[in-house]
Structure 1
Amino acid sequence: MTEITHRFVESTSGLRMHVAEAGEGPLVLLLHGFPECWYSWRHQLTALAEAGFHAVAPDQRGYARTGGPEEVDKYSLLHLVGDAVGLIEALGAEQSSVIAEQSSVISQQAFVIGHDWGAPVAWATAQLRPDLVRGVACLSVPHRPRGSKPPVATMRKQFGDGFYMVHFQQPDVPEAEFERAPAATFRRMLYAASGDGPAAAPIVPAGGGFLDVCPEPEEYPDWLTAEDVATFVREYEGTGFSGPINWYRNLDRNWELTAAWHRVPVTPPALYIVGDRDTVVAGPGTRERIDRMSDFVPNLRETIWLPGCGHWTQQERPTEVNEALIGFLRSL
């Protein structure tokens, strides 16, 4: 069985990042979402390694063993893309020193794959630094062109103060709820947003918390175990939830900082995979926008819908996801 190893890498962004990795070959960077870590890619690390790739799953800024700064404004999208670019450059430099016959350009490129919050980071990395991205594949979250107005007020007007991204703007409140009983937090959130869960809208009830819309499962679904939940709890022990929640607190700042790239297309070859029970794509008009995604992702090769799959795409359906990713990467 292919071994997953762990180490710390100094990203050229200045952040010391924990990575899990497996295999040798072309670099594949796997960017997790919320509330996750490298472990979300456990099935893909080994499959990609056995297919001839160097698969690397970092704990992103603020998460798990990587941790991060206390300042909220240090979690903007430009910081997150900077971390990804910094890893590509650092790991590419390692590879080029080992494989001298390869050109430095190829060795310092990577395939970038993202899920949930990792998807916007992957899309933006491909958009801002296409010279470093050989291909981009995103799970759950489609590419969304920059809007004409700051997003938080727009979401508040459309969904109310209880919409989870608006709710997360409050200082200290979300992390206090999630850190009260971490095992229950992970168990309930992973179940609730899955294809086995209730597919409830992420609207926090007045006076309540986010977990009020995440029921306790009567039993674990087939794709999730008690040990999986315990692993997430262990990985978060040192850093908690403040860093991850800070990503949401930069939504309006991201809009301001990315003005120079307004409506710039994502040009590298792309793949999009989504479950048809994912609440991310449940809103009105979302499927139509996905059908038109090639307007801003002109080299989108394919959109794959997974029947009965919820939000945790690569964990719920590892076989289908691995097959799709490996086929896409090999085609490039």
Structure 2
Amino acid sequence: MTGITHRFVEPATGLRTHVAEAGEGPLVVLLHGFPECWYSWRHQLTALADAGFHAVAPDQRGYARTGGPSEVDKYTILHLVGDVIALIDALGEEQAVVVGHDWGAPVAWATAQLRPDRLRGVAALSVPHRRRTAGPPVELMRRAYGDRYYMVQFQRPGAPEAEFDRDRADTFRRALAGSSGDGPVRTPVYPEDGGFLDISPAPDKLPGWLTEDDIAVFVEEYAESGFTGPLNWYRNLDRNWELTAAWHDAPIRTPALYIAGDRDPVVTTPGARKAIDLMHTIVPGLRDTVWLPGCGHWTQQERPAEVNDALIGFLRGL
């Protein structure tokens, strides 16, 4: 894409990391979610560059051109935060603003919580910061939503990736269209005798923000690494809970921004809006919450102009 360059960097973690980047100036690291890659930030990379920032979107651990180790326990939140800090180092910077969407948001929040000295600011799209749960989260989700809740099902080795790998174009088409603001809001619970993709039937046509060319890019980016690495993030939920005991209720004082669509399944889940309304109690650095009416889960892809304006305003205010 015009204005975006690609290279591999060699952080101290030893994980050879693919990055897409644009611009010069203060560093902004853009962390994608599941099932995505650097391409999710295509609209932000050039906009941030034009605004005077050095925007860098890595393929995170296990994803796309970066790939990663085969061991499940190499995908803990401590590894993921370590990757962010090591990337900032590898790019020759002391500090950065870290922006995360979907799974990238918890990584961004955790980076602000564990290494506030390295961040000028933190922004999260879709996923708010939540208090550490009272017990291991997988069992809590099982009690709340049942055995067929998608994060519970993702704990099964082999089965989810087999479903996603069967037809990758169909996987991305269903996953991206299904959680878009253009479609009906669905609860991410597997139907009886069905899988994750059955939650979202194949769309008759793609939403206006997504093209078949976009689908083809995601398919190509996943050609080497597949889905096992990305799914291993979910398989560390309980391990992450154990590892973060020392930061239980540790406040996030780094200047923060939160952006979400009001049709995002993350925020329509029971109790989510209350948690967002109370987020300032655990994120005293929270400066603003931006709601995007009619927007679904894929925030920065569905509403690039609004997201760019919010991010640039936040960055310039730091």
TM-score by length of 1: 0.95
Partner of 2:52: 52
List 4+ stretches of structure 1 deviating above 3 A.
none
Q: Percent of counterpart pairs with the same letter?
A: 71
Q: Which of these residues, 218, 227, 237, is aligned with residue 241 of structure 1?
A: 227
User: Within the alignment, does 1:185 sit opposite 2:152 as a pair?
Assistant: no
Counterpart of 2:267 in structure 1: which amino acid?
A: V
- d(CA) in 2 for partners of 1:138 and 1:266? 13
Secondary structure at the counterpart of residue 17 of structure 2:
strand
Structure 1 counterpart of 2:67: 67
Q: Deviations over 1:182-209 (max 9, x none)?
A: 0000001000001012211100023311
Q: Determine helix, strand or coil for the equivalent of 1:211.
A: helix
The residue identity in structure 2 corresponding to 1:18 is H
Greater mean alpha carbon deviation, residues 320-329 or residues 277-286? 277-286
Which one of 278, 286, 295 corresponds to residue 281 of structure 2?
295
Tell me the equivalent position of 1:30. Answer: 30
> Partners of 1:232 and 1:49 in 2: how far apart?
23
Q: Residue in 2 aligned with 1:83?
A: 83
What is the root-mean-square deviation of aligned Cα atoms in Å? 0.9
Contiguous gaps of at least 5 residues in structure 1: 94-106
Deviation at 1:154, TM superposition (A): 0.4
Quote the offset at 1:89 in angstroms. 1.2
Residue 137 of structure 1 corresponds to 123
Aligned to 1:208: 194
What residue is the counterpart of 2:206 in the other structure? 220
Residues 148-169 of structure 1 show CA distances to partners (whole Å, capped at 9, x for unaligned) of 1000000001100110000000
Gaps of 5+ in 2: none
Please say if residues 2 and 22 of structure 1, whose CA atoms lie closer than 8 Å, have aligned partners that are also in contact.
Answer: no
Structure 1 Cα separation of the partners of residues 68 and 131 of structure 2? 28
1:40-84 Cα offsets, whole Å, 9 max, x none, are 000000000000000000000000000000000000000000000
What SS does structure 2 have at the residue aligned with 1:8? strand
1:5: how far off?
0.2
1:313 to 291, 299, 302: 299
Equivalents in 2 of 1:246, 1:286: separation in Å?
Answer: 24
* AA aligned opposite 1:195: G
The Cα shift of 1:220 comes to 1.4
Q: Does structure 2 retain, via aligned residues, the 8 Å contact 1:29–1:111?
A: yes
Q: Which amino acid aligns with 2:79?
A: H
